[in-house]
Amino acid sequence: MITLPRTELGKTGLSISRFILGTGALGGMAATTGPGIGLDEEASADLLSHAGNVGINLLDTSDIYALGESERILGGWLAQNPDADFLVQTKTGVTPNGPDLSPDRVRAQLEQSRRTLGRVDLFLAHAVDPNTEWSASLPVFSEAVEQGLITAYGVSNVTERDLIDALQTADRLSIHRPALVQNRYSLLARDDDAGVLALARDQSLGYTPYSPLAAGLLAGRYSKGERPAAGSRLSTQQPTLGVLDDPTTRERIGRFEQLAASRDVTPAALAFAWLLNRPGVTAPIVGVTKPSQWDSVVASVDVPWSEGLARSVDEIFPGQPG
């Protein structure tokens, strides 16, 4: 059995694997659903079993993923495998009608998620709700910690200003602070470099980036302009899909693949290794859907990292200035 290394998740007191399994593909693909998209219950069970075998101990989902199917399938598997060593993280606040972190809804969704999943260890605000102040929503999350319903809570899809406001609001109200941040972050999405990531590091928050391979663009699949197959992860993400039409980005991806080959690793393993060695990054969220994709996850831990390799990567994909 392979055992991924573990690390501390901010100040939560939880020890988690250096990778988190994103389960948005269980029953669908994130917030979408439809024929040919996502994993059925049998494939989902195989995925979860394999995650445990490689040492992952934190599963990430949301009440909106696959319109609720992700939580249902995950909860059913956990009920059938009570000895599985997993922590469970879910999110609320994204709805078909837009963001909604109204207090009553947050309470109701946490209760529903706990029933569906069996337990919730970490609970995140999935998006910023422009119609609900942090002063209204954060006390609900803090109360859940006080009541022992969850261990800690966090925020997702936030700007630096959003995160500052959330932390200051919690401090002003003398309630539990958000303990972790979940944002999109990869070599192709480095907006958090000088903002959210730096702040999370300074405040000792957990930082668990999602889409670490930019929906497969950094996995060596599309550098020659290939179009994604219907039902693939990239085909469901229009903003990321547009990158394929940018010749400069395709050229950079090609150079990155050459750098990976020169180090005898896959592009995916090198992209993961870059994240593992970024100061402040706690654990990337990986959306594995095929057994072969675990190879790059496991291999990334053993990629020999150096300042020279970091510079080579940054020359291809420059970061955001501080």
Residue 44 and residue 22: Cα distance in Å, rounded?
12
Average pLDDT, the chain: 92
Give the model's pLDDT for residue 220.
82
Structure tokens at 156: 């997702």
Residue 184 and residue 212: Cα distance in Å, rounded?
8
Helix, strand, coil abundance in the chain, percent, nearest 5: 45, 15, 45
List the single range of 22-36, 110-124, 167-181, 199-213 with lowest mean pLDDT. 22-36
Looking at per-residue pLDDT, the higher value among 203 and 31 belongs to 203
pLDDT interval class at 35 (50, 70, 90): very low
Q: Where are the beta strands (DSSP E) in 115-163?
A: 122-125, 152-156
* N-terminal to C-terminal alpha carbon distance within the chain: 41
Determine contact, residues 144/150, Cβ cutoff 8 Å.
yes
List the single range of 32-36, 89-93, 111-115, 133-137 with lowest mean pLDDT. 32-36
Other CB atoms within a 10 A radius of the CB of residue 219 amount to 23
Give the model's pLDDT for residue 159.
98
Looking at per-residue pLDDT, the higher value among 289 and 307 belongs to 307
- CA 9 to centroid of chain Cα atoms: 14
Structure tokens at 3: 């055992």
pLDDT above 60 for 122: yes
* Exposure of 298 in the CB half-sphere (CA atoms within 13 A): 14
List the single range of 34-48, 51-65, 169-183 with lowest mean pLDDT. 34-48
Instruction: Report helix, strand or coil for 15.
Output: strand
pLDDT interval class at 221 (50, 70, 90): low
Give the model's pLDDT for residue 319.
86
pLDDT interval class at 232 (50, 70, 90): low
Taking the model in full, what pTM does it have? 0.92
pLDDT interval class at 30 (50, 70, 90): low
Q: pLDDT tens digit string along 141-200?
A: 999 999 999 999 999 999 999 999 999 999 999 999 999 999 999 999 999 998 999 999
Give the model's pLDDT for residue 291.
86
Residues above pLDDT 70, as percent of the chain: 89
pLDDT above 80 for 222: no
pLDDT above 70 for 204: yes
Determine contact, residues 182/13, Cβ cutoff 8 Å.
no
Selection from 208, 297, 308, 188 nearest residue 252 by Cα: 188
Determine contact, residues 145/7, Cβ cutoff 8 Å.
no
Determine contact, residues 98/29, Cβ cutoff 8 Å.
no
